[in-house]
Amino acid sequence: MQDPPNTSARNPPNTGVPRTSKQDPSPDELISSAREAARFTYSPYSRFPVGAALLCADGSIVTGANVENRSFGLSNCAERSALFAAVSQGHTSFRAVAVFCPSADAPVSPCGACRQALSEFCPPETPVYYAGSDGTYTATTIGELLPRDALQGLKDTTAVKGPARTH
């Protein structure tokens, strides 16, 4: 698999722009978007860059990269960066997730926190593809990554979005 051309950090490959094709991207195409997103990682402490790509319900792809902090607890994984960017753009329904780790010899799955965050917006059957440096990927689903998600049924989908009300 060939690396995509270098792009400027001021023009990241993530705009949430709908695809013009009616067909979903292949796993390889979605992983390619995650690979490109990994170029924008900020990982000076772990030196473990990660990129993620979410296929939104409208066909757009939103990407994210991991962003570290000296206080590791304040760091953010690529999957959650993509998820938070997508939700901030109004996307709350997703058809697939891809993760790319350019410094890993083998595919690396999302961490537990990312699995939990993704499960908030992705039904259990949502495909997840994760790949290492050679592009070989593992295909699974959110439900397989987070089995017996007892909290899935707690969400009140009829709740009003917006500011909290005070009494």
Which tens digit of pLDDT belongs to each residue from 62-77?
A: 999 999 999 989 999 9
When pLDDT is averaged across residues 1-24 and rounded to a whole number, the result is 44
| Residue among 29, 145, 149, 14 nearest 86 (CA) | 14
When pLDDT is averaged across residues 83-89 and rounded to a whole number, the result is 98
Global confidence as pTM:
0.80
When pLDDT is averaged across residues 121-133 and rounded to a whole number, the result is 97
Residue 2 has pLDDT above 70, yes or no: no
Catalytic residue among 79, 120, 125, 144: 79
pLDDT of residue 160: 52
pLDDT of residue 24: 85
| CA 148, chain centre distance (Å) | 21
When pLDDT is averaged across residues 9-38 and rounded to a whole number, the result is 71
CB-CB contact of 128 with 79 (8 Å): no
How far, in Å, CA of 95 to CA of 58, rounded? 9
CB-CB contact of 127 with 143 (8 Å): no
Q: Which residues contact 149 (CB under 8 A, 6 or more apart)?
A: 119, 124, 143
pLDDT of residue 5: 36
Kindly list the structural domains of the chain, giving each domain's residue range(s) and its CATH number in brackets, ordered by start.
Answer: 27-146 (3.40.140.10)
What letter would DSSP give residue 147? T
3-state helix, strand, coil in the chain (%, to 5): 25, 20, 55
How far, in Å, CA of 93 to CA of 73, rounded? 27
pLDDT of residue 83: 98
Looking at the DSSP assignment, which residues form a beta bridge with residue 55?
61, 96
Alpha-helical (H) ranges within 9-123 are 27-38, 78-88, 112-119
C-alpha to C-alpha distances, 114 to 25, 67, 77, nearest whole angstrom: 22, 14, 7
Active site residue 79: yes
Residue 153 has pLDDT above 70, yes or no: no
pLDDT band at residue 3, thresholds of 50, 70 and 90?
Answer: very low
Alpha-helical (H) ranges within 67-158 are 78-88, 112-119, 142-145
Q: Which of the two residues, 21 and 108, has the higher pLDDT score?
A: 108
pLDDT of residue 149: 79
